[in-house]
Structure 1
Amino acid sequence: MSTRSKRITPAAASRRTVTLDRAHLAHYTMENPDLEREIIALFLQQLPATTAMLKAAGNQADWKLAAHTLKGSAAAVGAARINALAVELEKCVFGAAPSVIKDLLAALDRAVTQFRKAAGRIYR
């Protein structure tokens, strides 16, 4: 089976995952609400730089590093939808069809907005 057939669409990634997996985050932080807030705050603080790094990638290595960084940090905090999209972005070959990249980055922007809203409602 080709790698291409294993990829999911941005819409499918969004449907298959939750915005913020609170159970994962609680487990990761040993159910410490103060630590949850701190980790979410750090993730949100770094998120603009990480997404900008991805969008500004000028070669395959930079693209992979940015996508991998986003994938790992999103997984750690329970940002499941962002993580699912980062997985797809990491698989994407730099210089792939512009429409594919555009769709994935647009879905990522939506997922980031949704995550910010979800985190804001929970961790005020």
Structure 2
Amino acid sequence: MAHTEAKGPADTRPVDLAHLSRHTLGNRDLEREVLRLFARQAEVAMRRLETATDPVVLRENVHTVNGSAKGVGAWKVAEAADTAERALLDGKTPDLAPLRAAVEEAGFYIDGLLES
């Protein structure tokens, strides 16, 4: 999985590969496994979010996606999860469409990385 350093804040890739590399100490096999786990966990959490009605379950799953996204450098996912978390903390029903879109974008990106 060859990749270049991130370009900084203007970088628009769904996953900040430089961030991921720092957290995995440059171990490419570990990067691949972490990405695989993130993509799988995010999809499971999104399925739970789509059927959940209990605010506690919603909050737990959004928080899980948020933490995982920050760990791998999926900043768009983390930003959308932050927005959903704030809505839930304010007692509102979050719009999960931006989170779903960000998770899907990251998933497609990760699939492409794992295939290479």
Q: Which TM-score applies when normalising by structure 2?
A: 0.77
Residue deviations 1:6-58, cap 9 Å, x none? xxxxxxxxx99641111110011001111000111111122221112222222
Task: Find out whether 1:92 has 2:83 as its counterpart.
Answer: no
Which of 91, 101, 115 pairs up with 2:106?
115
Give me the whole-angstrom Cα distance separating, in 2, the residues matched to 1:40 and 1:86.
18
Q: Which amino acid aligns with 1:24?
A: H
Give me the whole-angstrom Cα distance separating, in 2, the residues matched to 1:58 and 1:31.
40
Look up the SS of the partner of 1:20 in the other structure: coil
Task: Find out whether 1:78 has 2:78 as its counterpart.
Answer: no
Give me the whole-angstrom Cα distance separating, in 2, the residues matched to 1:84 and 1:47.
14
Task: Find out whether 1:106 has 2:91 as its counterpart.
Answer: no
Task: Find out whether 1:63 has 2:58 as its counterpart.
Answer: yes
Look up the SS of the partner of 1:123 in the other structure: helix
Unaligned runs of 5+ in 1: 1-14
Q: Which TM-score applies when normalising by structure 1?
A: 0.73
Pairwise CA RMSD: 2.3
Unaligned runs of 5+ in 2: 1-9
Number of residue pairs matched by the alignment:
105
